[in-house]
Amino acid sequence: MSQENHSPSAHDNASLKNVLYLALGSVGVVYGDIGTSPLYAFREALKPVSADGITRFEVIGLTSLIIWTLTIIVTLKYVLFLLRADNDGEGGTLSLLALLSKSAGRHTVVLMVLGLVGSALFLGDAMITPALSVLSAVEGLKLVLPQSSSFIVPISVVILIVLFVVQSRGTGAVANFFGPITALWFIAIAFGGIHHIFDDPAIFLAFNPINAVSFLIYERFVGFVVLGAVFLTVTGAEALYADLGHFGRKPIQTAWFGMVYPALVLNYLGQGALVLKDPAMASDPFFLMFPKWGLLPIVILATAATVIASQAVITGAFSMVRQAIHLGFLPRMEILFTSETNTGQIYLPAVNTLLLLGVLGLVLLFESSDGLATAYGISVTGAMVVTTIMAFEFVRIKWKWSVAVALLLLVPLLLLELVFLSANLLKIHDGGYIPVLFAAGFTIVMLTWRRGTGILFAKTRHADIPLSSFIPSVERKSEHAPVRVAGTAIFLTSDPETAPAALLHNLKHNHVLHEKNIILTIKTVNRPRASDAERFVAESLSERFSRVEIRFGYMEQQNVSQALAKLRKGGLKFDIMSTSFYLGRRKLVPDAKSGMPNWQDRLFIALANSAADPSDYFHLPANRVVELGSHVII
What confidence score (pLDDT) does residue 285 get?
A: 94
* pLDDT confidence tier of residue 630, bands split at 50, 70 and 90: confident
CB 20, CB 163: distance < 8 Å: no
Determine the average pLDDT of the residues in 233-260.
87
Q: 3-class DSSP state for residue 585?
A: strand
Q: Which residue has the higher pLDDT, 373 or 447?
A: 447
Residue 513 bridge partners (DSSP)? 484
What confidence score (pLDDT) does residue 9 get?
A: 44
- Of 39-53, 314-328, 371-385, the one with minimum mean pLDDT is 371-385
What confidence score (pLDDT) does residue 460 get?
A: 76
- Of 11-25, 130-144, 538-552, the one with minimum mean pLDDT is 11-25
What confidence score (pLDDT) does residue 369 get?
A: 83
Determine the average pLDDT of the residues in 108-133.
85
What confidence score (pLDDT) does residue 175 get?
A: 56
| pLDDT above 60: residue 7 | no
- Of 276-290, 428-442, 565-579, the one with minimum mean pLDDT is 565-579
Determine the average pLDDT of the residues in 459-482.
82
CB 359, CB 48: distance < 8 Å: no
Q: What type of residue sits at position 537?
A: V
Determine the average pLDDT of the residues in 550-563.
88
- In order of start, what are the domains of the chain with their CATH numbers? 13-451 (1.20.1740.10), 464-633 (no CATH)
Q: How far, CA to CA in Å, does 300 sit from each of 139, 312, 406? A: 11, 19, 46
What confidence score (pLDDT) does residue 2 get?
A: 37
Note the pLDDT tens digit of each residue in 198-223.
Answer: 999 999 999 999 999 999 999 888 88
CB 328, CB 454: distance < 8 Å: no
What confidence score (pLDDT) does residue 501 get?
A: 86
Determine the average pLDDT of the residues in 514-535.
89
Tell me the pLDDT of the chain averaged across its residues: 86
What confidence score (pLDDT) does residue 4 get?
A: 40
* Beta-sheet pairing, 483-492 with 512-525: parallel
Note the pLDDT tens digit of each residue in 606-625.
Answer: 998 888 888 889 988 878 89
Q: How far, CA to CA in Å, does 225 sit from each of 67, 427, 469, 577, 592? A: 17, 9, 68, 67, 47
∠ CA 526-530-536 to the nearest 5 degrees? 115
* pLDDT confidence tier of residue 13, bands split at 50, 70 and 90: low
Q: What type of residue sits at position 122?
A: F
| pLDDT above 50: residue 1 | no
What confidence score (pLDDT) does residue 10 get?
A: 43
- Of 1-5, 148-152, 474-478, 524-528, the one with minimum mean pLDDT is 1-5
Instruction: List strands edge to edge, sheet with 545-553.
Output: 536-540, 545-553, 512-525, 483-492, 579-589, 625-633
| pLDDT above 90: residue 98 | no
Quote the CA–CA distance of 605 and 590 in Å, as a whole number: 8
What confidence score (pLDDT) does residue 573 get?
A: 74
Determine the average pLDDT of the residues in 353-373.
88
Determine the average pLDDT of the residues in 59-86.
94
Quote the CA–CA distance of 449 and 120 in Å, as a whole number: 14
Residues 317-335 as b or e (16 or more Cβ within 10 Å = b): bbbbbbbbbbbebbbbbeb
Q: Which residue has the higher pLDDT, 106 or 599?
A: 599
* pLDDT confidence tier of residue 142, bands split at 50, 70 and 90: confident
CB 488, CB 518: distance < 8 Å: yes
* pLDDT confidence tier of residue 173, bands split at 50, 70 and 90: low
What confidence score (pLDDT) does residue 154 get?
A: 94
Q: How far, CA to CA in Å, does 106 sit from each of 87, 96, 112, 358? A: 21, 16, 11, 37
Q: What type of residue sits at position 388?
A: T
Which burial class, exposed, middle or buried, applies to 367 when counting CB atoms under 10 A from its CB (0-12, 13-18, 19+)?
Answer: middle
Quote the CA–CA distance of 254 and 19 in Å, as a whole number: 8
Note the pLDDT tens digit of each residue in 308-343.
Answer: 888 778 888 888 898 899 888 999 898 887 655 555
pTM: 0.82
